[in-house]
Chain A
Amino acid sequence: MPRQGARSRVHLAAWHRVRAVAGYTVGIAAGVIAWQLVGEHSEQQIFVPLTDTLHRLGELISDGTLGGALANSFATYGVGMFIALVVGAFGGLLLARSELIRTAFEPYLTGLYAAPMVALIPFLLAFLGFGFWPKSIVVALFAFFPVLLNTQRGAQSIAPELLDVARLYHTREKDLWIHVIAPYTLPFFMTGVRQALARGLVGMIAADIFLSANGLGGLLITASQFFDTAEMLATVLVITAAGIALMAIGNLIERRFARWKVDQ
Chain B
Amino acid sequence: MKHPAAESTTVRQAVPVADGRDSRPEPVEAAGRAPRSWWRHPAVVRTVAGLLILVVWQVVVEATAKSYVTRPTGVIKVIPSVLTEHLFLSDIGTTLTAVIEGLAMATVIGTVVGLLVGRLPDVRRILGMYVNGVYAMPIIAVVPLLTVWFGYTPTARLVVIVLEASLPVIYNVAEGARTVPRTYLEVTRIHRAPWWRVWFGVVLPASLPYVLAGIDLAIGRALIGAVVAEFIASINGLGYYILFNVNSFHEDRAIVALIVLALFAIVLRALVNLVIRRVLVWYRPV
Cβ of B246 and Cβ of A20 under 8 Å apart?
A: no
B6 to chain A, nearest CB (A): 9
Chain A neighbourhood of B134, CB < 8 A: 240
Interface string of A81-120 (1 = CB under 8 A from B): 0000000000000001111101111011011101111111
B249 to chain A, nearest CB (A): 8
How many residues of chain B have a CB within 8 Å of chain A?
Answer: 75
B231 at the binding interface (Cβ < 8 Å): yes
Cβ 8 A contact of B148, one of A99, A204, A206, A229: A229
Cβ of B136 and Cβ of A103 under 8 Å apart?
A: no
B194 at the binding interface (Cβ < 8 Å): no
Cβ 8 A contact of B11, one of A45, A46, A181, A209: A181
Contact residues of A between 194 and 218, Cβ < 8 Å to B: 198, 201-202, 204-206, 209-210, 216-217
B281 at the binding interface (Cβ < 8 Å): no
Cβ of B69 and Cβ of A158 under 8 Å apart?
A: no
In the complex the two chains form, what is the Cα distance from A26 to B11 in whole Å?
Answer: 56
B189 to chain A, nearest CB (A): 19
Cβ of A236 and Cβ of B145 under 8 Å apart?
A: yes
Cβ 8 A contact of A244, one of B121, B132, B140: B132
Interface string of B122-156 (1 = CB under 8 A from A): 10111111101110111011101101110000000
Cβ of B145 and Cβ of A103 under 8 Å apart?
A: no
A79 at the binding interface (Cβ < 8 Å): no
With A159-B3, A202-B138 in contact, do A227 and B148 touch (Cβ < 8 Å)?
A: yes
Chain A neighbourhood of B144, CB < 8 A: 209, 220-221, 223-224, 232
How many residues of chain A have a CB within 8 Å of chain B?
Answer: 81
In the complex the two chains form, what is the Cα distance from A153 to B124 in whole Å?
Answer: 34
In the complex the two chains form, what is the Cα distance from A27 to B125 in whole Å?
Answer: 7
Cβ of A171 and Cβ of B15 under 8 Å apart?
A: yes
Cβ of A123 and Cβ of B262 under 8 Å apart?
A: no
Cβ of A116 and Cβ of B145 under 8 Å apart?
A: no
With A97-B11, A168-B20, A176-B15 in contact, do A118 and B228 touch (Cβ < 8 Å)?
A: yes
Contact residues of A between 108 and 164, Cβ < 8 Å to B: 108, 110-112, 114-123, 125-127, 153, 156-160, 163-164
Cβ 8 A contact of A114, one of B11, B70, B257, B269: B269
A173 at the binding interface (Cβ < 8 Å): yes
20 further contact pairs, Cβ within 8 A, besides A111-B262, A247-B136: A24-B129, A30-B126, A96-B8, A115-B258, A116-B265, A120-B258, A122-B242, A156-B7, A156-B8, A167-B14, A167-B20, A176-B15, A205-B138, A206-B138, A206-B228, A223-B144, A233-B145, A236-B142, A239-B138, A240-B137
Would you list 8 pairs from A and B whose C-beta atoms are within 8 A, ordered by A residue?
A46-B148, A114-B220, A115-B262, A157-B1, A157-B2, A202-B138, A205-B138, A232-B145
Q: Which 4 A-B pairs have the closest CB atoms?
A: A23-B125, A104-B49, A243-B136, A115-B262
